[in-house]
Amino acid sequence: MLHHTTEVPAVDLSVLQSGWFAQTPNLGPPEIPPGFHLQSQADTLVEAYRDHWREWHMVRRPDQAWLADWLDRIPSTCGHCSHSFRSWVDANPPQFDNWFPYSVAGHNHVNAKIIRPALTVDEAYSIWFPHWGFLTLKDLADATIALASKLPPIRGVAGVPVSGMLVAPQLSTLLHVPLYEASYEFGIRRCAHGYRGSSRHVDESLPLLVVDDTISSGRSLCDVRRRLQDETNLIYAVALANPPAASQVDLYGQLCPEPHLLEWNLANTGYLRSLGFPNYKRGSGIMLDFDGVLCPDPPHFDETTDSGREAYLDWIANAKLGSFVPRMYTIPDIVSYRCEYTRPATEAWLSRQGVKYDRLHLWGDPNSSPATQASSRTWQAREWKGRIYNDSACGLFVESSEAQARDICSVASKPVLCWDTRELLMTPDLRIASSGHAHG
């Protein structure tokens, strides 16, 4: 559990003038729980601090230049608030070892100017840090069944491709009604069917259900409605609805508060490139384990022998695809305990599968012999992966092994998704939910 103090002592301005990071060059990122999102000047401050930390390690920008940069980001639409906050920051430079109470104090200072109540540290913590959820295909199926029980009589069900077609066939099968697709390109059209589909008798006067998997903000649903504006007698529904957007559909299966990640589209959404820590909506993306994620785990090979390495390289060349294969976006980082001598074979496999990536981290000194690399594994794989993840700006690590996932999470103090168990892990002090939290 994070410990906070309720008072924020002022910091001497000389600390700012002498350069904060000149005094603490090895300072790591603040332990800000994922999901932090405050629409205020205080939010701008924490966002900018996260950027400062990254820039210090990458390009080492001067502190003064960075301070001017993030001060320029503060919204100026409300001039009095902006000026008030800038004045407060001048008197109270950011405190890296006490960041959360500091942010609350800055938020309260601005709120006082617009006659809004102040928040205690505990109140702010409960409001600003929503729990992550990770929703599995089983969760989606459960929500679909819940939706089926709420539907009136319908003449058919039309899924919105692609994810809506995970829901629509289940409803079509459960309710024994025809299956359609409702696409942006072609509108509503009947899907092919087998014997059972051809024997269905339906009342054409009944409404047609248009269904998607989730609704978050409602933008996608608006696009669908515009495309189908000439159609009549339609009902719109989703399996999982974010509460603020639930009123935009006629029916939903279960409520699912954000923030959450979805098993069925995580590999091919923008989160692959943008998921970040501490703020789950920004960052450099998702780091992936290789074996057990992109491809199955290999059998054991004795890599200290020529024959063992030859057999291993042959296995790599012919490895099958795993169940988490991004193709729409480039993977920022892939981390594997494979030795450096396997890099040519590993890169060739990724190229054949159409998997793009920025960085591939493998074990060992590429200038040493394969036998030396194989015999030099002095670190545990989980510790090695954890340190690479900790040093990155990635916001999530996807690891196949449950034991390694828990240790990587502990080493990096950042979220880890265990792909074998479909469990989202986080250190207890950051209060992150380990499973989905959809409810009716």
Q: Which residue has the higher pLDDT, 17 or 378?
A: 378
CATH number at 254 reads 3.40.50.2020
DSSP sequence for 270-311: THHHH-BSSSTTSSS-EEEESBTTTBPPPPP--TTSHHHHHH
Identity of the amino acid at 7:
E
Please say whether the beta carbons of 337 and 363 come within 8 A: yes
Any domain includes 5: no
What pLDDT is attached to residue 421? 94
pLDDT category of residue 126 using cuts at 50, 70 and 90: low
d(CA 148, CA 402): 34
Highest mean pLDDT among 16-25, 107-116, 348-357: 348-357
**Shared-domain flag, residues 295 and 348:** yes
Any domain includes 1: no
Tell which of 102, 128, 154 closes a domain.
Answer: 128
Condensed to tens digits (0 to 9), the pLDDT of residues 321-370 reads 999 999 999 999 999 999 999 999 999 999 999 999 999 999 988 888 88
Q: 423-425 and 416-418: which strand pairing?
A: antiparallel
Condensed to tens digits (0 to 9), the pLDDT of residues 225-280 reads 888 988 899 999 999 998 888 889 999 999 988 778 899 999 988 888 877 554 44
**Domain total of the chain:** 3
**Shared-domain flag, residues 174 and 205:** yes
| 3-state DSSP percent of the chain in helix, strand and coil, to 5 | 40, 15, 40
Overall pTM surpassing 0.85 (yes/no): no
Please say whether the beta carbons of 112 and 224 come within 8 A: no
**Shared-domain flag, residues 146 and 71:** no
What domain range includes position 379? 266-421
**Shared-domain flag, residues 310 and 414:** yes
Q: Which residue has the higher pLDDT, 5 or 403?
A: 403
Nearest Cα residue to 180 out of 127, 235, 143, 140:
235
Contacts of 372 (CB under 8 A, 6+ apart): 364, 365
**Shared-domain flag, residues 270 and 243:** no
Any domain includes 24: yes
**Shared-domain flag, residues 249 and 141:** yes
Q: Which residue has the higher pLDDT, 10 or 225?
A: 225
Q: Which residue has the higher pLDDT, 320 or 426?
A: 320
Share the mean pLDDT of the chain.
76
**Shared-domain flag, residues 275 and 250:** no
Any domain includes 86: yes
Please say whether the beta carbons of 255 and 351 come within 8 A: no
**Shared-domain flag, residues 56 and 196:** no
**Shared-domain flag, residues 183 and 38:** no
Tell me the chain's radius of gyration from C-alpha atoms. Answer: 26
Any domain includes 115: yes
Q: Which residue has the higher pLDDT, 406 or 6?
A: 406
The token pair at 134 is 């990770």
Q: Which residues pair with 417 in a beta bridge?
A: 398, 424
Any domain includes 333: yes
d(CA 347, CA 361): 11
**Shared-domain flag, residues 238 and 154:** yes
For 276-292, letters b (16+ CB in 10 Å) and e give bbbbbbbbbbbbbbbbb
**Shared-domain flag, residues 207 and 353:** no
